């Protein structure tokens, strides 16, 4: 049998122990709640940072994609313009080489002889050599006729001076004007 005093001491100790356990549990719960609150706050902050980072990355990718699309659009537009310019040039050459070609060539020859004088060397395509020879004879011009590969027209040389009236050269000099007309006609607005 346990004496009464020892029993009271045990009861007091047991009561104190329960209080301490209850206090430890209360502190533990409060600490757990604080840790959970801090954890939730950290998670929310991390989630917001991740979302901001992915939004930034998505915006960067979107801008990069839009830039690539714009580059491809501009490149395709340049290609279309270039194709149109080539088609227009080919059509111009066809028309120049049509019915009025000899008259056109005669004007070029007259202009070149006027600029260069009557002692010249004339470069033309093979098909035009006979016409040019007759023209020179009629105009009383002494000139050597040389054949070259060209779409048409002529190039007249006197000493070191050259008057270039070859169709390709004329079209090349008109490239900027052709581009401007194409832009104004088909791509304005």
183: CB partners within 8 A, 6+ apart:
81
* pTM for this prediction: 0.57
Q: How far is CA 85 from the centre of its chain?
A: 19
What pLDDT score does 107 carry? 92
Print burial letters for 135-151: b (CB count within 10 Å at least 16), e (below 16). Answer: bbeeeebebebeeeebb
Characterise 81 by phi-psi region: left (phi > 0), alpha (psi -120 to 50), beta (else): alpha
Strand partners, 153: 166
Give the pLDDT confidence score for residue 146 in this predicted structure: 92
Q: What is the mean pLDDT of each run of 10 residues along the chain (189 residues)?
A: 80 85 86 88 91 92 92 88 82 80 90 86 93 89 89 90 90 82 74
CA distance 137 to 123: 16
């Amino acid at each position: 049998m346990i004496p009464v005093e020892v029993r009271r001491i045990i009861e007091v100790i047991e009561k104190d122990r329960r209080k301490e356990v209850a206090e430890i549990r209360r502190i533990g719960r409060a600490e757990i709640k604080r840790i959970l609150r801090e954890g939730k706050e950290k998670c929310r902050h991390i989630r917001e940072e991740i979302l901001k980072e992915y939004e930034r990355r998505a915006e960067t990718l979107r801008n990069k994609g839009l830039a690539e699309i714009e580059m491809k659009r501009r490149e395709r537009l340049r290609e279309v313009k270039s194709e149109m310019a080539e088609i227009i040039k080919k059509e111009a050459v066809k028309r120049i080489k049509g019915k009025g070609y000899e008259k056109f060539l005669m004007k070029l020859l007259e202009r070149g002889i006027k600029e260069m004088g009557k002692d010249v060397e004339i470069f033309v395509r093979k098909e035009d050599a006979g016409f040019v020879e007759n023209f020179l004879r009629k105009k009383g011009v002494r000139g050597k006729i040389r054949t070259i590969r060209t779409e048409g027209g002529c190039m007249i040389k006197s000493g070191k001076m050259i008057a270039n009236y070859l169709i390709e050269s004329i079209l090349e000099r008109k490239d900027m004007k052709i581009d401007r007309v194409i832009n104004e006609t088909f791509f304005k607005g």
